[in-house]
């Protein structure tokens, strides 16, 4: 009786969630245009027309991927926010969680958003940008605190763009190696960004 019934609206439940995850993987690997509906369908063992039982269009699948990414990202990010942390430790925690969001295997949603944003209709962009702004606001607060402690010297708004940009671009070059962890990487990011 504790299990979700058919009324469950969990975004990754059932076949719909399978499609979203498979699409995210394929969009990340081949791009939105490069991943065909047939490839997405086959990746979850369906025939080529069947995803359209769950989604009205390919565009709607992309929207679902980005929404799921923002939802998970905001959830994980809010979970490491703690007023008791000093600025540097709060920043390190944010860097760690962001690196896991964009680099950890299976976390394809945010990379898809970052590199396929322009494939979204204007309407969907406008709607989703509000959630993106929430994400940015969390970072801005943490970076403002760094500035107050003298740990960065740039304008905090510019620093946010540089910091998130340098991490987001890691998607294009980071290859997971057995030796090093994302924790080590996070330490290096903090060391690079802060002057102390």
- In angstroms, what is the minimal distance from the CB of 125 to DNA? 17
Q: How far apart are CA 43 and CA 46, in angstroms?
A: 7
Contact between 145 and DNA per CB under 7 A: no
Binding segment for DNA (CB under 7 A), chosen from 29-37, 79-87, 109-117, 149-157, is 29-37
Contact between 49 and DNA per CB under 7 A: yes
Identify each DSSP E strand in 26-184 by its residue range.
none
Scanning the structure block, which residue is given the tokens 């025939």? 47
Residue 66: exposure state from Cβ atoms within 10 A (0-12, 13-18, ≥19): buried
Scanning the structure block, which residue is given the tokens 């620093």? 159
Contact between 59 and DNA per CB under 7 A: yes
Binding segment for DNA (CB under 7 A), chosen from 43-51, 110-118, 130-138, 179-187, is 43-51
Residue 53 interacting partner from DNA, a second copy, none (CB closer than 5 to 8 Å by kind): DNA
Do the beta carbons of residue 117 and residue 33 sit within 8 Å? no
Q: How far apart are CA 82 and CA 17, in angstroms?
A: 31
Do the beta carbons of residue 37 and residue 22 sit within 8 Å? no
Residues 30-89 close enough to bind a second copy by CB under 8 A:
30-31, 33-34
Site string for a second copy, 128-157 (x = CB under 8 A): ------------------------xxxx--
Number of residues that bind a second copy (CB under 8 A): 33
What own/partner pairs with CB < 8 Å and gap ≥ 24 does 190-193 have? Answer: 190/88, 190/91, 190/92, 190/95, 192/166, 193/91, 193/152, 193/159, 193/162, 193/163, 193/166
Site residues (vs DNA, CB under 7 A): 15, 33, 35-39, 41, 45-50, 52-54, 56-59
Residues lying near a second copy in the complex (CB under 8 A) are found at 30-31, 33-34, 114-115, 117-119, 152-155, 158-159, 161-170, 172-173, 188-189, 191-193, 195
């Amino acid at each position: 009786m504790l299990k979700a019934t058919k009324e469950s609206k969990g975004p990754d439940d059932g076949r719909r969630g399978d499609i979203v995850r498979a699409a995210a993987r394929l969009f990340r690997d081949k791009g939105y245009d490069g991943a065909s509906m047939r490839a997405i369908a086959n990746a979850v063992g369906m025939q080529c027309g069947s995803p359209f039982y769950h989604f009205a269009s390919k565009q709607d699948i992309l929207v679902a991927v980005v929404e799921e990414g923002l939802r998970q990202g905001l959830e994980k990010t809010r979970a490491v926010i703690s007023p008791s942390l000093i600025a540097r430790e709060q920043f390190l925690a944010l860097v760690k969680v962001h690196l896991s969001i964009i680099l950890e295997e299976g976390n394809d949603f945010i990379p898809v958003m970052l590199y396929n944003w322009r494939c979204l209709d204007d309407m969907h962009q406008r709607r989703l940008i509000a959630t993106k702004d929430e994400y940015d606001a969390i970072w801005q607060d943490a970076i403002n605190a760094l500035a107050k402690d003298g740990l960065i010297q740039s304008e905090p708004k510019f620093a946010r763009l540089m910091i998130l940009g340098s991490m987001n671009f890691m998607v294009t070059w980071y290859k997971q190696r057995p030796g090093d962890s994302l924790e080590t990487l996070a330490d290096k990011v903090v060391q690079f960004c802060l002057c102390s």
